[in-house]
Amino acid sequence: MEKFEKVSGIAAPMPLVNIDTDMIIPKVFLKTIKRSGLGVNLFDEMRYDRQGNEIPDFVLNQPAYREAQILVAGDNFGCGSSREHAPWALADFGIKVIVSTSFADIFYNNCFKNGMLPIVLPQEQVDVLMKDAEKGANARMEVDLEAQTISTSDGETFSFEVDSFKKHCLLEGLDDIGLTLAKASAIDTFEESASQARPWV
């Protein structure tokens, strides 16, 4: 997992509330266990018509937001089933930060495990960021994880809270496998001691 430090990028406004994981990545695309390749199917049913053509009005199909790295969303983002394919699809599209007033717990935790930063802010601050995102490609927001701040294109800055352990993992680029590998030496020492103490095991 790549280290997360600062993100300065285009923010896409998506003010819908209760965007669930089936809207993020429909169940028909859950057959793969690969993290890559799902970005093309992100928000598939809102992004494409039944013939597979892009729906021009959908925000991520608009030229200004095709390279968006930040998503400013409505309340209760990521609700519904606990499919990990949802953060996989967002990350594969290029989303690094999602801002909302609240997230479903499992989705929220899965974001960190996949290198994305979910930011919870009060409604009035999300409203400011949403309005800034609506300016299009010329309005770039900046997210500083170390400082725990997000700034609008006009320089207005808001602070956000994040669990210190989750912050550490993002800054160091550590997912669950990376955390385990960081303890490889201690694990090897334990296994060697255990093998000597109980050779019959």
The three-state DSSP-derived secondary structure of 73-122 is ECCCECECCCCCHHHHHHHHHCCCEEEECCECHHHHHHHHHCCCEEEECC
CA–CA separation, 18 and 40 (whole Å) = 22
Q: pTM here?
A: 0.87
Instruction: Render each residue's pLDDT in the chain as its tens digit; 201 residues.
Output: 889 989 999 999 999 999 999 999 999 898 877 778 899 999 999 999 999 999 999 999 999 999 999 999 999 999 998 889 999 999 999 999 999 999 999 999 999 999 999 999 999 999 999 999 999 988 899 999 999 999 999 999 999 999 999 999 999 998 766 666 666 677 777 777 777 788 877
Distance between CA atoms of residues 90 and 98, nearest Å: 9
Q: Enter the tokens of residue 98.
A: 């999602």
Listed residue (141, 138, 135, 136) closest to 156, CA to CA: 141
